[in-house]
Amino acid sequence: MSFLAVYESHFTKHLTQTQFEAFRILLWLLTVHKQVRIERLAACFPLPILYQSRRKHIQRFLVLSALAIPRFWFPVIKAIICKEFKTGSRLIITIDRTQWKDKNVFMVAVIWKKLALPIYWTLLGKRGASRLSEQQALIQPVLCLLKNYELVILGDREFHSVKLAYWLKQKSKKQKLFFAFRQKQGTNQKKDDEDYQTFSQLGMKPGMKMFLTGVSVTKNKGFGNFNVGAYWKRKYKGKQEKEPWFILTNLDSLSEVLKVYRARAGIEAMFKDCKTGGYNWEGSKANNKRLNSLILLIAIAYTATSLKGKTFRQTNQGKYIARLTEKSRRDRRHSNFWIGLYGSLWIHAWEFCSDFISIMMSNNPQKLNNYKKGLQAMSIIDKTA
C-alpha cells in the first residue's frame, strides 16, 4: 500500500478534495522531475489551463494555512516513528543547518537506518549560525512530540554552547534526555581545582581516545559539570582527519558517545539527497512562506520514498533497481532513499514506454522467463509506489 493511501485520511482532514489532488500531483512531480522551483513545477503541472494560471494555482496552494507543520506533519512523522521504533526505545535526534544564498534552513531530524527523517524545521531570517533561543525553539516541540522515547540530541560545532547542554540537562529531570555536542578546540575546560586549559592542550594525536568525567567547560559559572569524549581517528586508506573530536555529553562511556555521534552523518546524507542528490531544493527562489511549504512537500516525499526503498529491499526487489553490492565496498552502495526514488522512476518509465518495451521483449523470446520475473518485480514495486 502506498504512503498516501496509508495517510490519506489524515491529509484529507486538512485539505479539500481539489487541494488533496494538487498535493498528490506536486509530490509526483517532485519524484519524477526532482525540482522544487515553482516555475518548473508549473511548467509540468498537468492541469489544462494557461501556464500563468497553473503557476498561480501552485502559489496559492503553498500558502494554505492547513500546511502548518505541527498540524499537517507532526501526526504523520510521529506515526512513522512509532511504527519504526518501539515506544520507550532510544532515538537519536540531530540538529543541523544548511544555507544557500540568503536561505537558511534550521532542521531537527531522527536518525533512521543511516539516514535522517525530517521532523521539524524553521527558516532563520538571517545568515550564519543560530542563537540559543532559536535552538531551544526548534527542539522544544520535538521533545513534546517524542516524550515517550529516550532521546539523544546531537549537534556539530555550531551548537558548542554549554548553555544549550545545560538547558537539556535541566529538561532531563522530567524526560530521559541525553546530548552529544562537538566542541571547538579552543574551548576551556578543567577538572576540580586544576587550572583551565583548552581542549587543544590535551595532547591528542591520531589514534588516541580519551574520556573526561565531571569537568567544567568554559570559564562561565553556574552550568555544573559534564563529560567530554575525545577521539582522533587514525589515518585510514591514506586519509587523515585534520583534528580530533571533542564532544560535550552526559552519556557515561566513550564508546557510547562515539557510536551515537557517528550517526550524525545521517542528516548530512539527507541534506545531500534534498539538494543535488534528489530534489534540488537549493534551486528554489520562493519566498519564506512558500519555501517552508515546499520543504514540507520535500519532507513528505523524502520520507515516503525512503520507506518505499526499505520495502523494496525487504521484498527482495532492490536487485532490479540498482547494483546493491560491490566487491571493493563494505557498506551498501545505495540508501533506502535512492532505491525508493529510482524504483518509482523505473515504474514511471515503464508506464510511459510500455508499447516500445513490448516490442523489445517480443524480439527476444529466449529471455521470456527473465522478463516474467522482471514484470512480477515491477508489479510488486508498483503496488508500493
Q: Residue 178 sits in a domain of what CATH number?
A: 3.90.350.10
Question: Considering the domain boundaries, does residue 154 fall inside one?
Answer: yes
Domain boundary among 222, 255, 274: 274
Cα 125–chain centre separation: 22
Question: Considering the domain boundaries, does residue 337 fall inside one?
Answer: yes
Number of domains in the chain: 2
Domain boundary among 274, 308, 330: 274
264 in the same domain as 360: no
321 in the same domain as 267: no
Question: Considering the domain boundaries, does residue 125 fall inside one?
Answer: yes
**Secondary structure, 3-state, the chain:** CCHHHHHHHHHHHHCCHHHHHHHHHHHHHHHHHCCCCHHHHHHHCCCCCCHHHHHHHHHHHHCCHHHCHHHHCHHHHHHHHHHHCCCCCEEEEEEEEEEECCEEEEEEEEEECCEEEEEEEEECCCCCCCCHHHHHHHHHHHHHHCCCCEEEEEECHHHCCHHHHHHHHHHCCCCCEEEEEECCCCCEEEECCCCCEEHHHHCCCCCCEEEEEEEEECCCCCCCCEEEEEECCCCECCECCCCCEEEEECCCCHHHHHHHHHCCHHHHHHHHHHCCCCCCHHHCCCCHHHHHHHHHHHHHHHHHHHHHHHHHHHCCCHHHCCCCCCCCCCCCCCCHHHHHHHHHHHHHHHHHHHHHHHHHHHCCHHHHHHHHHHHHHHHHHHHHC
Question: Considering the domain boundaries, does residue 169 fall inside one?
Answer: yes
Q: Which domain holds residue 73?
A: 69-274
CB atoms within 10 A of CB 111: 22
254 in the same domain as 337: no
- Whole-angstrom distance, CA of residue 18 vs CA of residue 303: 23
333 in the same domain as 263: no
Question: Considering the domain boundaries, does residue 138 fall inside one?
Answer: yes
| CB-CB contact of 273 with 336 (8 Å) | no
Domain boundary among 218, 241, 274: 274
256 in the same domain as 374: no
374 in the same domain as 257: no
Question: Considering the domain boundaries, does residue 366 fall inside one?
Answer: yes
176 in the same domain as 76: yes
To the question of pTM greater than 0.75 for the whole model, the response is yes
222 in the same domain as 169: yes
222 in the same domain as 90: yes
326 in the same domain as 252: no
137 in the same domain as 241: yes
Walk along the chain (385 residues) and give the pLDDT tens digit of each residue.
788 889 999 999 999 999 999 999 999 999 888 888 999 999 999 999 999 999 999 999 999 999 999 999 999 999 999 999 999 999 999 999 988 778 899 999 999 999 999 999 999 988 888 899 999 999 999 999 999 999 999 999 888 788 999 999 999 988 999 999 999 999 998 888 888 899 999 999 999 999 999 999 988 877 889 999 999 998 777 787 889 999 999 999 999 999 999 999 999 999 988 887 678 877 788 888 999 999 999 999 999 999 999 998 888 888 888 876 666 655 566 788 888 888 888 888 888 888 898 999 999 999 999 999 999 988 888 877 6
Question: Considering the domain boundaries, does residue 37 fall inside one?
Answer: no
